[in-house]
Amino acid sequence: MPTTVPRLLEEAHALRTSAIAVICGAASMTHGELMAESNRIANTLKACGVKRGDRVGVYLDKSIASLASLIGIMKADAVCVPLDPTGPVARMAFIVADCGVRVLITSGNKQGRLEALLADGGELDTVVVVGDRPLDLADASLRIVSAAQLAQASGAAPPRHALEGDLAYILYTSGSTGRPKGVMLTHRNIVAFVEWAARQFDVGPADRVSSHAPFHFDLSLFDLYVTLARGATVCLVPQGIGFLGVDLVKFIA
């Protein structure tokens, strides 16, 4: 059995290269394209000095880019820290400080909130930008990797050194009883869950699975990795309708 999440996905994607891996509105990406894009992100992170076990934040709306970013972080031997794109800046600042996030993947439409994060004491070294909208932050000490630079990175898989016992994710609780707490998940944890869930729910290549949970919730691990590991298609539920029953039913139909 593959021992890390990227290896698990690559085995499936090698058999389904031209099949659709993810759909978001009118946009889509094949399994092969998703692997190449995640490789570009991984190679970019490594070029920025990201090392095995480093925490990398993802501050993006639910999108194909955010999915590719999560996979790319793991391919760089680093740890995914998904941040709530709609949550308070104070919560994001706490998480960034609590687990030592120094590199953040985001987009230009988050500029105002990123400026607030930096003003709130958030210490970042590098921001990697995805999407068409540029990011122009006043902090001269911050390294910004543009989307154009990211696009020039190699789409080949980088060398990897992560082991099954290494961390893959840190997911934070809501903090309803106090401060948010980071829950650490290893590659072994996620792979074991994915293998079990894929068998239990009989997910196969012909399936289309709605990705309802936000990416900073643990249920998203089912939506994303069970689906991709079986060569199926992830259908990203737009953030605006995730909790609206009637609209969600229409989306699924």
Question: What's the CATH code of the domain at 153?
Answer: 3.40.50.12780
Instruction: Determine the average pLDDT of the residues in 65-87.
Output: 97
Please tell me the total count of domains within the chain: 1
Do 169 and 194 touch, CB atoms closer than 8 A? no
Evaluate if residue 253 carries a pLDDT over 70: no
Evaluate if residue 1 carries a pLDDT over 60: no
Return the higher-pLDDT residue of 238 and 89. 89
Q: Which of 29-38, 97-106, 242-251 has the lowest mean pLDDT?
A: 242-251
| Residue listed under structure tokens 């009637």 | 246
Q: How far apart are CA 128 and CA 148, in angstroms?
A: 11
Evaluate if residue 146 carries a pLDDT over 90: yes
Evaluate if residue 42 carries a pLDDT over 80: yes
pLDDT the model gives residue 138: 76
Which DSSP state fits 82?
A: E
Instruction: Determine the average pLDDT of the residues in 45-50.
Output: 98
Do 56 and 103 touch, CB atoms closer than 8 A? yes
pLDDT the model gives residue 121: 62
Instruction: Determine the average pLDDT of the residues in 112-132.
Output: 86
pLDDT the model gives residue 168: 99
Instruction: Determine the average pLDDT of the residues in 135-155.
Output: 90
Domain membership of residue 204 as a residue range: 5-252
Return the higher-pLDDT residue of 124 and 104. 104
- The closest of 71, 96, 74, 100 to 83, measured between CA atoms, is 96
pLDDT the model gives residue 207: 96
Instruction: Determine the average pLDDT of the residues in 90-103.
Output: 93
Evaluate if residue 243 carries a pLDDT over 80: no
Angle at 35 between CA 173 and CA 17, to 5 degrees: 125
Instruction: Determine the average pLDDT of the residues in 51-64.
Output: 97
Instruction: Determine the average pLDDT of the residues in 225-246.
Output: 84
- The closest of 87, 36, 66, 43 to 224, measured between CA atoms, is 66
**How far apart, in Å, are the Cα atoms of 206 and each of 115, 215, 224?**
44, 23, 15
State the CB neighbour count (10 A cutoff) for residue 127. 23
Average pLDDT of every residue of the chain: 92
Q: What is the pTM of this model?
A: 0.94
Task: Give pLDDT tens digits for 162-215.
Answer: 999 999 999 999 877 778 999 999 999 999 999 999 999 999 999 999 998 999
pLDDT the model gives residue 137: 83
Look up residue 173 and give its amino acid. Answer: T
Q: Which of 12-21, 39-48, 70-79, 243-252 has the lowest mean pLDDT?
A: 243-252
Do 102 and 125 touch, CB atoms closer than 8 A? yes
Return the higher-pLDDT residue of 114 and 153. 153
Half-sphere exposure of 122 (CA within 13 A, CB side): 27
Evaluate if residue 89 carries a pLDDT over 70: yes
Q: How far apart are CA 182 and CA 189, in angstroms?
A: 15
| 30 Cβ contact partners less than 8 Å away, ≥ 6 residues apart | 17, 18, 19, 20, 21
